[in-house]
Amino acid sequence: MSRYRKQILFDGLGEAGQSRLRESRVLCVGCGALGSVIAESLVRAGVGMLRIADRDFVDLSNLQRQVLYDEEDVAQRLPKAIAAANKLRRINSDVVIEPHVADVTCQSVGELCDGVNLIMDGTDNFETRFLINDAAIEAGIPWIHAGCVGAHGQVMAIVPGQTPCLRCLMPEMPGPGTSETCDTAGVIGPAVQIVASLQVVAALKILSGQTELIRPELTVIDVWDGTLRQLKLSGLQEAGGCQCCGRREFPFLHGDEGSRSVVLCGRNSVQVAPSTSGKLSLFDLANRLDPSGEVQANPFLVRFRPDESEHELTIFADGRAIITGTEDLAEAKSLYARYIGA
């Protein structure tokens, strides 16, 4: 245990906390910016098992903030889950690392959650977060949600039966293109590091058997302004008011919601259709995408070719997009989340 001596000396954990931690099993969904920091911190802290699910490959533009990856991973075009597992095993060989190169969908989420004590949010889109929320509440597994854009981030620890859930805060999924993504508004490494570190602090409390320390609140930070707010969420959980944690209906988990994506055969393209209906402002979207590549717009659609990419995205006012240059559903959904956001 000499590896963990400093952590055991810390009053909040101690010997008992550390041995609970060593027995714990965690799922990290998404291993990009937040996921890298989460995975590295939990593996160094000595969890028993870390399962990582990610659908993406390592790209040069990831290296500015995704601390687990390096130029060698980019050269080899390694899937993030694999590159992460390689690195994490060198960091701490005591920890069982279980990489899954997979899109987390309503079909796969159940198996991925099987036997874990905690789920960490390392995703970059609301669709996956709403799915995780359903899966976590249904199975009674705590999960730690976070989001980060620019210098700004939000963290919320969700403990079924103890705190409000994500849908208590946001009953419906935000429509496509309604919020900036890291690919349109940018993001700085320190914001990611702090947000993910706050997630890990909550994780250490839960995994060391001190779930009662988790309070119903949303932490909102801005590292550029140097501000941190803790907004109370205790009033959100009215009796039975929430579809998910109140009425225990799980539409995202049962596939009633969630995007409908299909490979368009022979066209080297995929259509991604968001679950939420509603009109997208093509004008705003075109302006937002303009710095990131070549944009053509007309009243019916926006055609966008990201810089240094073989892909082209054609986005319609109903939020639907046809992504050419791939027949891989996971890659297409990942591009959708990056540039259009959902």
Partner 1 sequence: MIGATLPTVHFTSHLKLHVDCPSVDVSGESLSEVLNSVFEDNPRLRGYILDDQGRIRQHVIVFLDNEPIRERTNWDRPVTPNSEVYVLQALSGG
Q: Which residues here bind partner 1, judged by CB under 8 A?
A: 30, 32-35, 121-126, 146-154, 169-175, 178-182, 185, 187, 192, 218, 220, 222, 224-225, 229, 231-233, 235-236, 238, 241, 337, 341-342
Q: What does 17 bind: Zn ion, partner 1, none (CB cut-off 5 to 8 Å by kind)?
A: none
Using CA atoms, how far apart are residues 39 and 45, in angstroms rounded to an integer? Answer: 10
Instruction: Give CA torsion, residues 263, 264, 265, 267, to 10 deg.
Output: -120
List C-alpha distances in Å: 115 to 25, 26, 118: 7, 9, 9
**Least distance to Zn ion, CB of residue 169, Å:** 8
**Least distance to partner 1, CB of residue 147, Å:** 3
148 included as an active-site residue: no
- The SS3 of residue 31 is coil
Q: What does 224 bind: partner 1, Zn ion, none (CB cut-off 5 to 8 Å by kind)?
A: partner 1
Q: What does 282 bind: partner 1, Zn ion, none (CB cut-off 5 to 8 Å by kind)?
A: none
- Judged by CB, which is closer to partner 1: 8, or 236? 236
- Judged by CB, which is closer to partner 1: 237, or 309? 237
**Least distance to partner 1, CB of residue 123, Å:** 6
- Judged by CB, which is closer to Zn ion: 164, or 175? 164
The separation between CA 315 and the C-alpha centre of its own chain, rounded to angstroms, equals 23
Contact 103, 333 (CB under 8 A): yes
**Least distance to Zn ion, CB of residue 259, Å:** 22
Closest alpha carbon to 42 in 55, 26, 53, 30: 26
- The SS3 of residue 306 is strand
Using CA atoms, how far apart are residues 168 and 217, in angstroms rounded to an integer? Answer: 12
Active-site pick, 113, 165, 168, 182: 182
Residues in contact with Zn ion by CB under 5 A are: 165, 167-168, 242, 244-245
**Least distance to partner 1, CB of residue 205, Å:** 21
- Judged by CB, which is closer to partner 1: 4, or 124? 124
Using CA atoms, how far apart are residues 126 and 132, in angstroms rounded to an integer? Answer: 10
Q: What does 233 bind: partner 1, Zn ion, none (CB cut-off 5 to 8 Å by kind)?
A: partner 1
Q: What does 32 bind: partner 1, Zn ion, none (CB cut-off 5 to 8 Å by kind)?
A: partner 1
- Judged by CB, which is closer to partner 1: 21, or 29? 29
Closest alpha carbon to 202 in 192, 223, 216, 190: 216
Using CA atoms, how far apart are residues 292 and 308, in angstroms rounded to an integer? Answer: 10
Residue 23 neighbours by CB under 8 Å, 6+ apart: 48
Active site residues: 182
